A = this chain, B = another copy of it.
Amino acid sequence: MESHKDSRLASFFEPRGVAVIGSMREWGEGYTVIRNILDFGFSGRIYPVSRSSAQVLGIKAYPTVNDVNDPVDLAVLVTPSPTVLGLVEECGKKGITAVIVVTEGFAEAGPDGAILQRQLVETARRYGVRLLGPNTLGVLDTDNGLVTGPYFHSGNKPPGGGIGYCSQTGLLTFGVYPIKDKAFPISKMCDFGNKCDVNELDLLPFLADDPRIKVITMHLEDIRHGQKFMEVAKQAVARKPVLILKPGCSEVGARAASSHTGSLAGDDRVYENAFRQAGVIRLKTWQEFWEIPRTLSMQPLPRGNRIAIITATGGAGVLLTDTAVESGLVPAAFAANTRAHLERLSPRLARNPVDVGPLMSVLESPFSIYDQVVPVVLADSNVDCAAIVCHLGPPIVKVFSELVHRLSSIAKPITIFGYGINLHEMEDSARQLEAMGFPTYLDLESAAKALGVGAAYSRIRAKLETQA
């Protein structure tokens, strides 16, 4: 709504100090927010605001925000809804320009809530305050450890990474997904909640500007200001991939969406066309939303859409080829010298998918076949990307730890689909491979889809560069 190069946006993610206003009794909402912030190791200052406590979790508390003398850039409100309006005004008077309203009970709750929400927006405007929410879990920034969720999520601090991530539902944020256990490579995450002020028009340029962010993903139940969205989205797409999960494809889905956050979802074809024109890549499922950005954040973009598949089981090669083709990829035809190299290893190997399974079953050291095949295939000038199928366990981790520098110098994207019989060992190995930069999936389809999305973005980018 406001100008989209707004310095106040940075205060939501990188405030020097954050005031937390809410119940400070043990496990009250304000207390829990502070527990989470401390737990994630926030590098800025924290100011609990409480009339009843002199200190909270060892931190000095203040009766009102006005009593804080240091600079406060962000306030987090987790108080009952009738108190929020007055507190936003207090924040405005104090000069706080970014306020997260975690509190529920606004437009999503019915007509009275909608009126209260409008008043909130008017008050915020009057004081030059930007609002995130209401009805939001707020933000997460892995760079400085800021997190504002009102549910305790100790131990769920993810590693850093290249994903910038916005959602219009708490379901798709840090409070309800094992982002640490799955090592979700996130830089900044934000829940728009009811989206009364801060929205995709703000976050698209903000995340596009952030050099640590390699891919922007958004879950949006609706998009208002279509013309402005197109403009802002195009500018972001020119700089990095923008992936959007927009549900409500089905008409009944759209009705469910409109009752959830008090917004009106439009005709789906309008969105479909808008996304295509802007170069936004549309995601279709919850699972794609979590899995696909992983590859784009960790791996280089492919220059084209020719995929090599290297697999320890022929059946996976067939299924991956299917999904790859559906995702816009084509199987690469290997160059003569690649075929010659593979034929020297085994006459049946010089095909794509490269089925290394039969050779593995006769080799003294079966996993060494990956050393001999993966770098050669990836270096082939007819190959733009590769999906690798392997047993997930210590041997393949060792192979990739020895290959990591050779592969990164080739600068083409790789995904791994790993199978096995011990789920914990598979997950441990996946995390070790990802710590080396190789996105590793336990479901077959994601390994191909993620490369397809990378190639789709490269095509979009090339088209934009031709037009420019």
Binding site for B on A (CB under 8 A): 104-105, 108-110, 153, 155-156, 167-172, 174-182, 219, 221, 247-250, 252-253, 256-257, 259-261, 285-287, 313-319, 321-323, 325-326, 330-331, 347-348, 351, 353, 355, 358, 361, 391, 419-424, 426-427, 443-445
Q: Which 7 A-B pairs have the closest CB atoms?
A: A169-B315, A260-B314, A181-B423, A250-B325, A253-B322, A286-B444, A171-B315
Q: Which of B104, B256, B348, B443 contacts A287 (CB 8 A)?
A: B443
Contact yes or no, B391 A318, CB < 8 A: no
> A256 — which chain B residues lie within 8 A by C-beta?
317-318, 321, 331, 353
Q: A314-B108, A351-B259 are in contact. Are A319 and B419 (CB under 8 A)?
A: no
Contact yes or no, A419 B176, CB < 8 A: yes
Looking at A318, A321, A353, the one whose CB has the most chain B CB atoms below 10 A away is A318
Q: A358-B109, A423-B427 are in contact. Are A286 and B253 (CB under 8 A)?
A: no
Contact yes or no, B252 A325, CB < 8 A: yes
Q: A285-B323, A286-B444, A325-B252 are in contact. Are A315 and B104 (CB under 8 A)?
A: no
Contact yes or no, A361 B104, CB < 8 A: yes
> A104 — which chain B residues lie within 8 A by C-beta?
358, 361
A463–B130 CA distance with the chains assembled, in angstroms: 59
Q: How far does the Cβ of A321 sit from chain B's closest Cβ, in whole Å?
A: 4
A253–B326 CA distance with the chains assembled, in angstroms: 10
A218–B433 CA distance with the chains assembled, in angstroms: 32
Contact yes or no, B326 A250, CB < 8 A: yes
> A322 — which chain B residues lie within 8 A by C-beta?
247-250, 253
Q: How far does the Cβ of A4 sit from chain B's closest Cβ, in whole Å?
A: 25
Contact yes or no, A175 B221, CB < 8 A: no
Please, which residue of chain B has its CB at the minimum distance from the CB of A245?
A: B319
Contact yes or no, A172 B315, CB < 8 A: yes
